[in-house]
């Protein structure tokens, strides 16, 4: 996995609702829903990665996020 628990990452500003985004190191994929779209451009914190995707604090771990949904670490 590209990111670790505790990493602060920036959500891509160009996310599109319904678009699928992949993990870089596997075939895992997930699509963006409206609640995720609302977080575009913000910095979020990864809190779990045990399902082959990420969960973030800012949505209480409700949605699954993938590598392609992020622009990188927030401090880069």
Is the model's pLDDT at 45 over the cut of 70?
yes
Question: Which residues on adjacent β-strands are paired with residue 22?
Answer: 29
Is the model's pLDDT at 16 over the cut of 70?
yes
Q: What is the pTM of this model?
A: 0.94
Please give the helix or strand (H or E) that residue 10 lies within, else none: strand 8-11
Is the model's pLDDT at 70 over the cut of 80?
yes
- Give the pLDDT band of residue 75 (cuts 50, 70, 90): confident
Is 20 strand, coil or helix? Answer: strand
Is the model's pLDDT at 69 over the cut of 80?
yes
Give the separation between CA 70 and CA 58, rounded to whole angstroms.
14
């Amino acid at each position: 996995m590209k990111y670790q628990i505790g990493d602060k990452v920036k959500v891509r500003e160009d996310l599109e609702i319904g678009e699928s985004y992949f993990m870089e190191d596997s075939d895992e994929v997930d699509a963006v829903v409206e609640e995720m779209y609302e977080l575009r451009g913000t910095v979020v914190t990864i809190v779990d990665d045990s399902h082959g995707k990420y969960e973030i604090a800012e949505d209480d771990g409700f949605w699954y996020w993938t590598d392609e949904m992020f622009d990188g670490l927030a401090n880069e």
